[in-house]
Chains A and B, each alone.
Chain A
Amino acid sequence: MATVGSPETRPLAEFLQTVAVTRNLDRVRRGMNVLLSRDPPPMGAAPRDVVYAKGTLRLYRYRPLTNEVYRIPLVLVMSLISKPYILDLSPGQSLVEFLLREGFDVFMVDWGVPRPEDNRLRLEYYVLDSLPRNIEEVQKVTGETEVTLLGYCMGGLFTLMYSGVFHDAPVANIVCAATPVDFDGMRLFRRWSDPRWFDVDRLVDTLGNIPADLILRSFEMLRPIERWVSYVRLTDNLWNDLWVKNYRLFYRWVNDQIPFPGEAYRQMIKELMWENKLMKGDLTLGGRRVDTTAINCPVLHIMAEHDHIAPFAATRPLTTIVGSQDKEDIVLKGGHVSLVAGRNAWFRLWPSLSQWLGVRSV
């Protein structure tokens, strides 16, 4: 019988050490890690403290990484649809970490995961009550009167609505990323939610909050083949550690959807999706008109050309509805997620964002 290391077993050992075999064994190992969700890459790791909390809402302050920061604090306003760690994806790939290194004092408004009883929360709660309260807390903690608001996706809508209602709001600058304003441009969502066949009242009255799974499936339907092709691409790239890590980060975030508060959903569908009131200047919240033309602080608008969730046609007109003289559009090639967390973002967007904010944050 052959023993280990004997001349009879040597060809087998040599074969097992060939590049092709080790690469394929690595593929199997990484594939198993993905399948079994083993060793997940760290997410949302930037150190932070809770400054204010109410219900599911948390206002975080990230710990500065520089001894000297820009005077005006930067407040990130998140969307209601997804988890906020897309902006703090992973060490080295985090917008928050980048902004901290660039010397910004960064806060984040995280709305949290709505509980069943939060189905009564309307847009008024977010725009007229919560956002002003959070800004007050930022003012208290920093001692500054003005803040810069950076809204991602629906967070950008909240930012515009807030500044459109409170014309004397202490907002020095606004940055909106992937923010749809012209709901006529959301072709498929608009068709699916057409009042001729979509009974939003019945849906909200029955379900309360709109389940996370329903939201995830509706996003997937915008690109029905994408998920299947992503599995093929994953198999093709299983040898590449960085590729697999990024795949796991993105898809973990994409699949980590949260329910949508029922009443806010009803308002979004009726007032924005059906009547496109924000674009027409007819939107009112708590009896107060949202007049975006009264916004006159500097506005930076970042959009993605191939965004399937907030299509280019829906985001493009944002700067046309604000009254600011100092406004700028940045259009990138990526999609909804890669706009803020992909390679394009790391190399093109983040440096431009820092430069734009830097000169306006002193």
Chain B
Amino acid sequence: MPDSNNRPDVVQLWRNWLTDTERQWNAFFNDVMGTDSFGRFLGGYMEIYGTFQRLVAQNMERSLSTLNVPTRSDIVDLSERLSTVEERLTSIESSLRALAEAVGHPTQPAAVTQLRPRRTRRPPNQPSQVQ
């Protein structure tokens, strides 16, 4: 924006240029990356990436087993078993909660059960109805 002496604001001009340049370069790269040849290149890269990952995982697994150290799959197995235990605990907990509620003892954490705001709010242009 020009100042009071009608001199252009150089910094603002630079900022506009930056925005335009960014847009043009992004558009240019999008055109390049939208071609079949780029898609094929990316597919090839993913193929190599996958192969590399698989080889690294296999070698790592073998090396760790040789050193008698738990491997990633051992940890994942353990994590899976923990998840199962966790799920069973949750289901026991909810059964106990249902039982407790059936005999009149709410077991939800206090913070949740105490949140009992009146559910009577109306939009600003409609009057509230207190129940």
Contact = CB atoms under 8 A, between A and B. Distances in A.
A191 interface: yes
Interface in A214-238: 221-226, 229, 232-233, 236
A243 interface: no
Interface string B42-83: 111011001101100000000000000000100010011001
Contacts, number: 125
A71 interface: yes
Contacts of A206: 50-51, 53-54
A70 B43 contact: no
Interface string A51-75: 1011100000101101111110000
A187 interface: yes
Contacts of A359: 123, 126
Contacts of B86: 55
B22 A226 contact: yes
Residue picked from B122, B124, B128, most chain A C-beta under 10 Å: B122
Interface in B11-29: 15, 18, 21-22, 25-26, 29
By secondary structure, the B interface counts as helix
B50 A203 contact: yes
A60 to B, nearest CB: 10
Contacts of B126: 359, 362
A202 B119 contact: no
Nearest to A64: B117
Interface stretch (A162-170, A193-201, A283-291): A193-201
A192 interface: yes
A144 interface: yes
Interface string B107-128: 0110110010111111110101
A268 interface: no
Interface string A94-112: 0000000001010000000
B121 A49 contact: no
Nearest to B32: A224
B5 interface: no
Interface of A: 49-51, 53-55, 61, 63-64, 66-71, 103, 105, 115-117, 141-142, 144, 187-188, 191-192, 194, 196-199, 202-203, 206-207, 221-226, 229, 232-233, 236, 355, 358-359, 362
23 contacts: A49-B115, A64-B115, A68-B118, A68-B121, A71-B120, A116-B76, A117-B76, A191-B34, A194-B39, A196-B40, A197-B39, A198-B39, A199-B50, A206-B51, A221-B33, A224-B29, A225-B22, A225-B29, A229-B21, A229-B22, A233-B18, A355-B123, A362-B121
Given A192-B42, A197-B44, A362-B123, 13 more contacts: A49-B112, A53-B90, A103-B121, A117-B83, A191-B35, A191-B38, A194-B39, A197-B40, A206-B54, A224-B25, A225-B22, A225-B25, A229-B18
